[in-house]
Every structure is written in C-alpha cells, then in structure tokens.
Amino acid sequence: MAIPITEATGLVSLGAIQTAAETLRSVAVRTPLLRAADLSEELRATVLLKPEMLQRSGAFKFRGAYSFLSSLTPAERVRGVIAPSSGNHAQAVALAARLFGVKAIVVMPTTVTAAKRSGAERLGARVVLAGTTTQDRMDKAVEISEAEGATLVPPFDDRRIIAGQGTVGLEIVEDLPSVGTVLVPVGGGGLSAGVAAAVKQLRPGARVVGVEPAGAAKLTAARAAGGPVTLPSTGSIADGLMSIRIGTIPFAHHEAFLDDVVTVDDDAIVRAMRHLIDRCKLVAEPSGAITLAALMEGKVVPRGETVAILSGGNIEWPGLSALLDA
C-alpha cells in the first residue's frame, strides 16, 4: 500500500495517517484518553493520558510496524523482515510478522532488558545482539539483510513508520477535538513526527511539544545546529529514547509541525513513574513516563486541554522495583 505524501514537501500527509488508521482498525488497540485527576487539580488544568502501554506488544511501536509490513509485496514477505531495535520496535515487528505469517529477525543491544528480549523471542523472532548504539544495531541489521534477503524495517526513519505512529495523534484529535497541548516522547523521532503531523494538520492551533532525556537530547542538538547531528554518546534510564541522532525524515516533520522540545532528567522520570503507579494505576517504562515528568517538573505549562502520551510499559519487575526503590 503506497503511503501518500504532501505535495512538494516529502512530508507524510493527513491522508497517509488516515490510511494507516484504516489498516490498523481491526488489529490495533484504540487506546483511551484517561483523565489524570490529581495532576489536573495540582496544575489547575485538564490533563489526560494516552496509555500506549495498553497497545499490543506493550508500546505504540506496533502501529508503525504493522503499517510497514502491510505495504510489503508477497515476494518480500517470503524473504522475511529484520529490525534493529532497543526493544519495543523489535517486539512490534515480531508481532506484526507473526500476524502476517512472516519470519522475523531482530537486532537488539547487548544491554537490552530481559523483558524486551524475552518479549521478542516469545513472539517468534530470532534475536541477534549487537553493540549498544543505534548505529551498531543498524549496521548489523543491514549486514544480515544483505546476506539473507530480509527486508529491513526501520525503527523511525521511514514515512510508512511515521504514518503508522501518527495514528496516535489522529486518535487524540478525534477523541478530543478541543485539545490544546500534546506532549510526545522523542527517541529517533518516528512517534513525535507522526503525532505532530496528525495533530497540526487537523488542529493547527494546538501545540505539540517533544520531550527527550537530558542525557540524549538529539533533537535539541539538531534544532540548534539546523539539522540532524550525531551525539558522541547518550545516557539515560529511558532506554527507548537513547538514539544518538534524530532521523532525517522525522526531523523534517519536526521542523514543519513540532512547536517545541524540552528535556527532563532521570530523577524526574522516576518520580513520574511512581506517580503513574500510585495515582493512576498505570505501569510505564521510563521512556513512557517522560511526558508526564515534563508536566510535573514544570517544563511544559498546560495550555488548554493537555494530553501526555505514555509511549509504552515494557519493563520487567526487577527493573521496575530497582528504579522505584532507589
């Protein structure tokens, strides 16, 4: 299925995101908007949560992975797929591949959490470990793709992936037409690009703010430099957001649609995770809690009805208890 793009810009169109939504309608979870009552009272604003930890495979990544695999030809599906991933993309591709009857290989970091590795294996993927950086994983994935003929499924730097992730933003506006502010995590940029594209094309007056770890501020650096730059290193408990470079295609979407980007530190993320468990009864991985952290720390002041996207909840019990007991 071809993904249309906006004329002359190369940006994913609203129509592309709506097409992805139709593709996902019978397979993905339409996650709800939940009111964060305590935080709304504290901030004197309406704050709602978009809990993508309730999505299949435990994170938003299933949306993009399934959208991508739906576009493959029968011949490509026979050869299988391969995906470089810190964890959530791997599980999403593994699940999408299983649904399409396609073999999947995933390349994960040597530091991958037990929950994310076992999740990919449980879904039938062959797991290969390679280094600790995004580039390490991509290099290994390209090597295997060339050797075995498998189609590479990019984690974020692809219009089909962006269109699928953009369905998160589409649902927000459909369910809350009066939305004033949307906070979205920033890793490689697929989710933030898609959400910003959907929200701004439907509600130009709404504000979309990206949130990234202080120790992995690749979009902040790219905006300062006028284009994607490679960070020498990254460090954060938010392992899903530790890309050392923002994607080229996502960055173009950020420039067109994203109003601002802010950073938060790891201590703030832990406080947000605790708040989600104690007050909202939701378990988020660090990457998933970062948007709430930005609100709780005052990095983003709500303007109108405000939605914080909780991008995922793939964290094993030992890891969760270690963070919360620290």
**Residues 57-113 pLDDT 10s:** 999 999 999 999 999 999 999 999 999 988 889 999 999 999 999 999 999 999 888
Decide if pLDDT at 2 tops 70: no
Catalytic residues: 61, 311
Q: Element (H or E) spanning 128, and its range? A: strand 126-129
Looking at this protein, which amino acid is placed at residue 189? G
Choose the weakest-confidence range: 8-17, 42-51, 149-158, 237-246: 8-17
**CB-CB contact of 306 with 40 (8 Å):** no
What's the confidence (pLDDT) of residue 116?
A: 83
User: Model confidence at 326, in pLDDT bands (50, 70, 90)?
Assistant: low
Alpha helices in the chain (DSSP H): 14-24, 37-43, 61-70, 74-79, 88-100, 114-122, 134-148, 159-165, 167-175, 190-202, 218-225, 248-257, 266-275, 286-296, 317-325
**pTM for this structure?**
0.94
**Predicted local distance difference test score (pLDDT) of residue 7:** 42
| 46 CA to centre of own chain | 24
Count of CA atoms in the C-beta half-sphere (13 A) of 211: 32
Please tell me the predicted confidence (pLDDT) of residue 289. 98
Q: In whole angstroms, how far apart are CA 116 and each of 32, 88, 150, 203, 319?
A: 24, 7, 22, 35, 12
Average pLDDT over residues 175-180: 98
**pLDDT tens digits, residue range 279-320?**
999 999 999 999 999 999 999 999 999 999 999 999 888 888
pLDDT tens-digit series, residues 198-244: 999 999 999 999 999 999 999 999 999 999 999 999 999 999 999 99
Contact 153, 68 (CB under 8 A): yes
Helix (H, G, I), strand (E, B) or coil at 105: strand
- Share the mean pLDDT of the chain: 94
- Give yes or no for a contact between 287 and 239, defined as CB atoms under 8 angstroms apart: yes
CA distance 77 to 69: 8
Share above pLDDT 70 across residues of the chain, in percent, rounded to a whole number = 97
Sorted by where each starts, the structural domains of the chain and their CATH numbers stand as 14-59+159-325 (3.40.50.1100), 61-152 (3.40.50.1100)
Dist. CA 296–CA 84, nearest whole Å = 33
The residues with which 104 forms a beta bridge, in sequence order, are 81
Nearest to 77 by CA among 95, 107, 103: 103
26 vs 323 pLDDT, higher one? 26
Q: What is the mean pLDDT of residues 162-184?
A: 98
- Residue-level pLDDT at 9: 62
